[in-house]
Amino acid sequence: MKKILIVALALVLALAIFAGCQKETETTVSDATEAPADNTETASDATEAPEAPMSLSGEVTVSGSTSVEKIGIALGDEFMAMYPDVKYTYQGIGSSAGVKNANEGVTMLGTASRNIKDSEKEWGMTEEVLAYDGIAVVVNPANTAVSNLTMEEIQKIYLGEITNWSQVGGEDTAIVVVSREDGSGTRGAFEELVEFEDSLTADALISEGNGGVHATVAENESAIGYISFTYIDSAVKTVTVEGVEPTVENVLATTYPISRPFMIVYHEANLSDAAKAFLEFTKTDLAKEIIEEKGGIAID
Amino acid sequence: MLAYFCNFKDLNMRKTKKYEPLVELIFRISSVMTIVAVGFIVLFIISKGVQPFLSSNKEGTYSFVKFISGLEWRPNDDINKAQYGILYMIVGSLFATGGAIILGVPISIFAAGYLSELANEKVKKIAKAGIMLLAGIPSVIYGVFGLGFIVPKIKEISPMPQGQSLLAVIIVLTMMILPTMIVIAENAIASVPSAYRNASYALGASKVYTTIHVIIPAARRGILVGVILGVGRAIGEAMAVVLIAGNVSGGIPTSLFEPIRPLTANVVLEMSYATGLHSEMLFATGSILMLFIIGINLVLSRIIKRMGKY
């Protein structure tokens, strides 16, 4: 008897899991599609008084660039502290996937750490610049001889035309080129800004994520890599590009050549009240403070 | 009540008739579910994986010959510029798996032979606990260990400027497949009847001689089962190798010190970002990987069938 009971219970549990899955997807889909119908009346007071922690509730779903993740999560945490009934989620799945999700209504907002491509603009989403980011070129701290590179030198290193550090004023050792995986927003932005699109040297090591590049460069004395400003620390050494330090000031002054925007994209119709309020929130001084704290460069 | 199923003397025929079909049904559903799951996975991956080679595909068509024989992987939104060649990845995956098996099989056989036949109880206990622990370590930890320890060590002896290499992958994969292979080989060796041992001893053979010439050959079937599982794990391992392989975008490895991009790493690296044809090509990569695993399993299980009992 006991055994039958156990088996029966296990079966019920298994069924419940399946049932649970189904329900969840149903609600997200209906959420996304029904949202535009009922939010028109309340939308106005959310924009008027974003500071008032009153009756705002619901979900804000965001997905997109892993480079925007730190800022996105910090903004979300602050927003949820202001409106305890709001549930905010950020999934760092990459720029392309984030923009696609926003277009398909999988998440209300999508973020991208690059300019929106022409093929994506065809989807007719609203675009907003959340902040700016710089991409720093980093080498191993043991590489003391090289402290500045020109855009052309960086380009040739990544094309595989310059292969030895002595060619750019360093020691006589081979250069280990480190890049990101195909599709990464940082890689896309870097290739575009340094102008070697789709012609990365086949010898380049590919590391997953900013953290992967950081770890690879920190571990190899002859490596060169590129990472978001937010990942700069003492384990890697930044080089000046065309004599310009990779700093926030220089990105805003547009003197630092390798910088890019952090975009938010959405279809107005997919937004919940909470999402609209969140977009307003990202323009407040408090949000700017958070962006700067997380290494992003806030816009005025 | 627990005795109900075990003790046949207590069986009441009326009750048996009532519950037997139900229990049998539960058993059947469970086994069918496994088969259905495997079937679904294979169907899903392959049906997505063949898409890019069909002329009707709306994301564009790519030549299967170019895919399977290409030496560079360069995804691009523009299909005329894109290169999706995986031959160098297949070679990398096979070299890495082969290397791990060549290193791992002798180690696991000797370790299993020692543990099962020669070691005293205390050593056996400690070693077994260690092996179990090794088996339980998540693969990403092996990867981090590889990146932090093995890769820098290889860089010191390597003619190349980096340590991410085929050799690093082989070493880490060997460590990962050892526990499974040792445990299975040990079970096989332990199930060799003691008549074999006694006969050998009676002829004057030593313990070591008996282990090497009688017990291990007699247990070859079980040892090969361990090898199959080892191959499966080695060729399918992703999280650890992606950190230490180097993942280059082209080139067949010609030495142990050259970086590779295993098939699994290709899928893991790019799946989250890929769209359109690029994403379908990753499914195609996954299909090839799966065909390899199925193929290797079929061949090895054929060989096993012809072998001895243990």
Q: What is the pLDDT of residues B238-259, one digit of tens each?
A: 999 999 999 999 889 999 999 9
Q: For A168, which DSSP code? A: G
Residue keyed to tokens 């939104």: B77
Q: Does A104 touch chain B (CB under 8 A)?
A: no
CATH number for the domain including B267?
1.10.3720.10
Interface test with B, best of A166, A173, A205 (most B CBs within 10 A): A205
B300 lies in some domain:
yes
What 3-state class would DSSP assign to B246?
strand
For residue B290, the distance in angstroms to the closest alpha carbon of chain A comes to 23
Say what the pTM is: 0.73
B302 lies in some domain:
yes
A148 lies in some domain:
yes
CATH number for the domain including A199?
3.40.190.10
Per-residue burial over A187-222, b = 16 or more CB atoms within 10 Å of its CB, e = otherwise: bbbbbebbebeeebbebbbbbbbbebbbbbbbbbbb
* CA R_g for chain B: 24
Q: Which of the residue ranges A49-63, A215-229, B196-210 would you say has the lowest mean pLDDT?
A: A49-63
Q: Does A118 touch chain B (CB under 8 A)?
A: no
Residues of A with Cβ-Cβ distance to B242 under 8 angstroms: 208
The per-residue DSSP string of A102-134 comes to HHHTSSSEEEESSPPPHHHHTT--EEEEEEEEE
Domain that includes residue B139, residue range:
83-306
| pLDDT beyond 60 at B237 | yes
Q: What is the pLDDT of residues A28-76, one digit of tens each?
A: 333 434 334 444 444 444 444 445 556 788 899 999 988 788 889 999 9
Q: Which residue of A has its CA nearest to B155?
A: A220
Q: Which residue of B has its CA nearest to A117?
A: B77
Q: Which residue of B has its CA nearest to A199?
A: B74
- pLDDT band of A299, cuts 50, 70, 90: confident
Q: Which residues contact A47 (CB under 8 A, 6 or more apart)?
A: A276, A277, A280
Q: Are residues A167 and A127 in the same domain?
A: no
Interface test with B, best of A117, A119, A208, A213 (most B CBs within 10 A): A208
CA distance B303 to A252: 67
- pLDDT band of B69, cuts 50, 70, 90: very high
* Higher-scoring residue by pLDDT: A107, A5: A107
B113 lies in some domain:
yes
A50 lies in some domain:
no
Q: Are residues A127 and A138 in the same domain?
A: no
B67 lies in some domain:
no
Euclidean distance between the first and the last CA atom of chain A, given in angstroms as a whole number: 71
Residues of B with Cβ-Cβ distance to A222 under 8 angstroms: 161-162
Residues of A with Cβ-Cβ distance to B247 under 8 angstroms: 181, 205-207
For residue B237, the distance in angstroms to the closest alpha carbon of chain A comes to 16
Residues of B with Cβ-Cβ distance to A93 under 8 angstroms: 272
**Tokens matching residue B49:** 């994986």
| pLDDT beyond 50 at B62 | yes
Contact B249 A175 (CB under 8 A): no
Q: Does A219 touch chain B (CB under 8 A)?
A: yes
Q: What percent of chain A has pLDDT over 70?
A: 81
A1 lies in some domain:
no
CB-CB neighbours of B135 under 10 Å: 14
Tell me the helices (H) and strands (E) count for chain B, helix number first.
Answer: 15, 2
Q: Does A65 touch chain B (CB under 8 A)?
A: no
Q: Are residues A138 and A232 in the same domain?
A: yes
Q: Are residues A148 and A243 in the same domain?
A: yes
CA distance A137 to A116: 23
Domain that includes residue A238, residue range:
134-259
B255 lies in some domain:
yes
Q: Does A276 touch chain B (CB under 8 A)?
A: no
Q: Are residues A172 and A192 in the same domain?
A: yes
For residue B22, the distance in angstroms to the closest alpha carbon of chain A comes to 9
Q: Are residues A167 and A110 in the same domain?
A: no
Q: Are residues A122 and A63 in the same domain?
A: yes
- pLDDT band of A6, cuts 50, 70, 90: low
Contact B268 A208 (CB under 8 A): yes
A51 lies in some domain:
no
Q: Are residues A162 and A234 in the same domain?
A: yes
Nearest to B75 among A176, A182, A208 (CB): A182
The total number of residues shown for chain A amounts to 300
Structural domain count of chain A: 2
Q: What is the pLDDT of residues A151-203, one digit of tens each?
A: 999 999 999 999 999 999 999 999 999 999 987 878 888 998 898 988 899 88
CA distance A22 to A27: 9
Q: Which residue of B has its CA nearest to A96?
A: B273
Q: What is the pLDDT of residues A273-296, one digit of tens each?
A: 999 999 999 999 999 999 888 777
Contact B1 A173 (CB under 8 A): no
Q: Are residues A148 and A240 in the same domain?
A: yes
Q: Which residue of B has its CA nearest to A92?
A: B272
Q: What is the pLDDT of residues B141-180, one digit of tens each?
A: 999 999 999 999 999 998 988 999 999 999 999 999 999 9
| pLDDT beyond 50 at A18 | no
Q: Does A174 touch chain B (CB under 8 A)?
A: yes
Residues of A with Cβ-Cβ distance to B243 under 8 angstroms: 208, 212
Q: What is the pLDDT of residues B73-123, one digit of tens each?
A: 998 877 888 899 999 999 999 999 999 999 999 999 999 989 988 888 899
- Predicted local distance difference test score (pLDDT) of residue B263: 95
What torsion, rounded to 10 degrees, do the Cα atoms B259, B260, B265, B270 define? 80
Residues of A with Cβ-Cβ distance to B161 under 8 angstroms: 173-176, 220, 222
Residues of B with Cβ-Cβ distance to A4 under 8 angstroms: 19, 22-23
Residue keyed to tokens 């007719």: A124
For residue A224, the distance in angstroms to the closest alpha carbon of chain B comes to 12
Q: Which residues contact B52 (CB under 8 A, 6 or more apart)?
A: B59, B60, B61, B62, B67, B84, B277, B280, B281, B284
Q: Are residues A143 and A246 in the same domain?
A: yes
Contact A219 B268 (CB under 8 A): no
Nearest to A208 among B4, B242, B250 (CB): B242
Of A278, A248, A250, residue with least CA distance to A264: A278
Q: Are residues A143 and A248 in the same domain?
A: yes
Q: Are residues A69 and A82 in the same domain?
A: yes
Structural domain count of chain B: 1
CA distance A124 to A135: 28
Residues of B with Cβ-Cβ distance to A67 under 8 angstroms: none
